[in-house]
């Protein structure tokens, strides 16, 4: 794959000043734990001692998967288009959280197998009506993968033009835990059986069958084994758009709030292409999908929350936002020992 993004780790020249500011706030050194880590990370991302959060938004990429035809999900395929429309009504799981935390919401058709009512506010970036069945052939062509990356990046550009400097990404796509499990297996070198879970509610027999199908798909794979080829062969349109969005956000020094199992798998895939993307990622939560904790461990990622969630849509990332906000408020609103005329007590 040709180089599409220019992603570099944040310049660390400002790091000593950030650490000094955090350490000299009116508290024992390290006593605000993760908030201090987040403040340092965000200060580095924004290259400032006074970071700010502006206009948070959540982008939901929606798409169907050919592998769903193999019965790897307990949910019927039509749920993808039904939920995509439902988000525009304001009554979905993600909607009450975006309302609560002041997030903008964008719903993107990446590849839903349905003629959606775009007049309701759904953004039409459809590549195709669902990916191909990767049990038998590649899910998408290389050209389709590039289109997905670029359209995901374009969504970030739109949000930045609206003033956003922190974004979360979500997904809607029946069957998308299957490509996530395969990416986890191939990129993190974790046995496939430990990567495959219940998805939207499979029982033990269903999980066993899902594992058998995914193992056969991996065995059938005849690509060149490069990260971009693995992403192309097994990925979903909505997932590859999310990768493109993450990469564009990192290039532009926008904070990325990573959601659950599927978005964590997308971040893992993005890291295979551009490892420095991780510097811009804050992992919102560890979900209840089997394998998510293992995946986070493999990435050396520390999630902010453990709430037993497995809905997707960006819900866990949005729930974590107030903690990120607290970290920024800490570094900006707490006084130093000198300002407060308090003797250092550590």
Query: Residues with catalytic annotation?
Result: 313
CA distance 337 to 213: 61
CA distance 108 to 60: 6
CA distance 208 to 210: 5
Q: Where are the alpha helices (DSSP H) in the chain?
A: 15-23, 33-46, 79-89, 93-101, 142-161, 177-188, 192-195, 204-220, 227-234, 237-251, 261-273, 292-298, 315-333, 337-340
For 234, the 3-state DSSP assignment is helix
Exposure of 31 by Cβ count < 10 A (0-12 exposed, 13-18 middle, 19+ buried)?
exposed
- Which run of H or E residues covers position 105? strand 104-111
Q: Give per-residue burial for 164-199: e unless 16+ CB within 10 Å, then b.
A: bbbbbbbbbbbbbbbbbbbbbbbbbebebeebbbbb
């Amino acid at each position: 794959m040709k180089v599409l993004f220019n992603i570099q780790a944040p310049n660390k020249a400002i790091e000593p000043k950030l650490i000094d500011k955090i350490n000299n706030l009116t508290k024992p050194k390290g006593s605000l734990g993760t908030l201090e880590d987040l403040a340092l990370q965000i200060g580095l991302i924004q290259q400032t001692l006074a970071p700010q959060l502006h206009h948070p938004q959540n982008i939901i990429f929606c798409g169907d998967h050919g592998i769903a035809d193999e019965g790897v999900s307990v949910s019927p395929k039509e749920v993808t288009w039904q939920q995509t429309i439902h988000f525009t009504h304001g009554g979905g799981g993600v909607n009450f959280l975006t309302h609560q935390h002041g997030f903008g919401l964008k719903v993107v058709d990446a590849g839903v197998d349905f003629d959606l009512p775009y007049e309701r506010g759904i953004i039409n970036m459809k590549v195709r009506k669902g990916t191909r069945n990767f049990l038998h052939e590649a899910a998408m062509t290389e050209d389709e993968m590039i289109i997905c990356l670029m359209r995901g990046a374009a969504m970030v550009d739109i949000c930045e033009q609206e003033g956003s400097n922190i974004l979360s990404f979500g997904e809607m796509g029946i069957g998308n835990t299957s490509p996530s499990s395969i990416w986890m297996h191939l990129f993190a070198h974790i046995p496939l059986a430990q990567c495959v879970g219940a998805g939207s509610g499979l029982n033990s027999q269903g999980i066993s069958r899902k594992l058998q199908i995914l193992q056969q798909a991996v065995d059938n794979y005849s690509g060149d084994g490069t990260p971009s080829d693995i992403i192309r062969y097994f990925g979903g349109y909505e997932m590859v758009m999310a990768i493109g969005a993450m990469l564009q956000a990192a290039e532009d020094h926008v904070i990325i709030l990573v959601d659950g199992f599927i978005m964590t798998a997308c971040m893992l895939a993005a890291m295979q292409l551009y490892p420095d993307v991780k510097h811009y990622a804050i992992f919102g939560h560890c979900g209840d999908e089997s394998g998510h904790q293992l995946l986070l461990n493999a990435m050396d990622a520390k999630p902010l929350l453990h709430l037993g969630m497995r809905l997707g849509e960006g819900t866990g990332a949005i729930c974590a936002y107030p903690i990120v906000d607290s970290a920024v408020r800490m570094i900006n609103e707490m006084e130093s020992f000198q300002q407060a005329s308090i003797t250092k007590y550590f």
